Structure 1
Amino acid sequence: MKKQLGAGAVVVKILAPLLLLASTFPYVQIVPSSGYTQPYALFVGLILFVFCFGVVFQWRKYDQIAIAGLGFVGVMLYIITCLPYDNPLEYQYLLTYLSPLLMVPGFVAVIQHKTRQTILILQGSIVIWLFVSIIQLLINPEFATSFLGEWGNSATDIVLSGRGVLGLAPEPTHNAFHTLLLGAALALLDSSKISRFLVFGCIGSAVVLAASSSAALILLASTLIWLMRYKTLWGIALVLIGLSFLAVLSSLLQLMGDTDSRLISLMKEAIEDPATFLVIDHSVNMRLGGLWAVLSDSIRSGLQPHGLSHDTWLQARTEILKTYDWLLDLSLTGPPSGFGLLLFQGGILVLPFLFMFIHRLFVNQPRNLLGQIILIAVPLIFLSQFYISAPLFSLIYACALYRQRWNDIAVQQAYPTRSLKLNS
């Protein structure tokens, strides 16, 4: 590694903790900002990209093609569809396509060069996120929210409305998703007892502390996917039992009476009338309903690329709202889905990248149950309203690439006479 990085090894050593901390605390504001995610991780990642680009040639060729291809698709679509190049939002779209190419090499270099430090920072970051969320739930909902700038001002109102705590995120769902992604990154790198315990804490925080209905739904879906993949018969049996248990669950929830918990209220209403699930709550409607509408529209168009023009999205948004009259609203800034944005803008051209990312996660599953479930949840999170420009996306991809490389090395050492095709 030192030989390949050369002088860059010194840069990696200096910037590694800065990159990791900026990624694990992406909403903390050092300079006041009106945006959700702060750009510090991107700035550090760009510096490391210059010194660490050589690690790209250690990856399998399909990963090289997928990540570089996504960047190329983004640049070409921007050039073709975004004249006269004066809309700041379209630059944000372009950054979504370029972020993995610009940040994954730096993350891979950091993990390879400072593996133990990466694990310790992930562990420490999870402890801090859990600690802040616990204090907010039990003592003061505004604890540490001053680090979020103007986004922390609504912490008390959010808790009083029945939603969960913010943690160090601008809203509870982002708290839940970010914590789950931290747990997934740690699960890919370390299987020690303390890491397994922290992964369990991440899952508990998403459901109990952040009280995110979206996170609970994603974890339920990932658990079912795990059962279908590893315990198919048990999975089918559990689905059947679950369907028969809905009546009992409905009675149990009714016995609980009125509650301030938004998650429990949504469960009660969804069980009482599943047909109206997507319209019982404005947030659920915009997240899940918006996701369904955007994906359905993309499929109906034959995954035709629409380009990165914001005007194109505004026109499509109007048509989608007309087509799906049950949809209460749809974001003006873009599709309410990380993968959905790529599919709407890039269509069939982005499928190789999405396939490789999901494939790389599934072939590098950790051995423990919770690690596998939380890793299966990762694509579902980015299918939801969480964009791949978030630094944790590139970190998780880098963790998967690192794990893949060491798996390849282990196979080579175990079977020195066997020809291993690392380029597939």
Structure 2
Amino acid sequence: MMSVLRVARPMRYQYQRIAVLRIIRCQAYKSVIKSPVVESKSSLVLFKIIKQQKYYFQTTPRRDISPIIALILRPLIRIGAFLFGRAFRKWWAKQSVEERHKYSGWFSRKKQVFFGIMGAFLFGLVLYYGTHIQTDPLTNRSRFIMFDKKQQAALSKIIFEMHLETFKDTLITKDHPTYKKLIKITEQILNANKDLESIKDKQWTLTVVNSPLKNSYVLPGGNIFVFLGMLEIVENEDQLAVILSHEMAHALLDHSIEQLSNGIILDLLLALPIAIIWAFFPDLLAIIFQFLGQTVIDLIHHLPYSRALENEADQVGLILCAKACVDVREAVVFWGMMRVLTELKVEPQQIPLWLSTHPDHGDREKTLNNQMEKALERRSYSGCPPLPSIDPRKRFYALTSKEHETIFKRRGIIPIS
């Protein structure tokens, strides 16, 4: 696939490289200017990806929330509910018996007004939710999104600037061999999937961080971050393409925006219960009750929901790889390798599935293997050259645990004692 390279210098950043491949641009960053809007580094992990082609069901005009407000709204809702409830409890404790009777009587007379306000609030929330339901064109799954494309772009820019500021002193240059390898794989995946409107919608960039951290992710606007430590785990470029495609799939599926949107709605629903807890219980009991409540919500909603999104990204990422003529069988090998590393206690032991945000390595290995026939068909349909006759899955499963350990030591993943 032919590409044209050119250099540009937008006002806010200086770019080392912009590679234009008909529809995409991959950029490496040399220096950044600190974002004046958001500086909280704890917020950096909030997103991995967003923005995508959408179909809208509603006919009434959308009322979308400001991106800046969205970033601060969630903590403000909970903090506000806590402060209000606690302040009310302290104020109530200072009132005399007569004053308490007076206020109780006043509330009794006005309770229909209060219940009416609560009902109107809930009705408005449900109406807002219903008018912001979209269907994802890649999966046909309905989901709640409260941001339009312009707001997603603004939010993406803020998050991108935050990450660039965080890693500005550890970015590698475009001449680094790893950068060249990654730019090639990235271009291969993006160009093979340029039929997707969501691919063309984004300003794709590549940033490589000189860090031993084994991590990679894609931010809202298509900003790909890869840490050098990630390359120590993968055996080949096909496995690296699998990882990048998974993260790109998160972006194409709007997972981060979806999670943020759902989180804001849930926080609005929980604001009153939080305020009531802090209004009627001592601090210690309120802390315990709020912790227990949050734990229940995590177990029955947040964690299963997060695992479902990871599985969805695995499935879509596999198709992205197949269209890019990657040896998709390596996806199974990679997660099998992660499972073995965990069994050998090289990688941290996984917590029970019901407490995890991600599926178990072994479960991902099996799920991807079950999806392999469809992925191989999609690869063949894309006009890709035949795969090697030796299936990497068979080679991997033929090895014993001891042989795996020897290979990991040879690759430097396991230190040689």
Interval of TM-score (by shorter of Structure 1 and Structure 2):
under 0.3
Structure with higher strand content: 2
- Tell me the TM-score normalised to structure 1 length: 0.25
Structure with higher helix content: 1
- Tell me the TM-score normalised to structure 2 length: 0.25
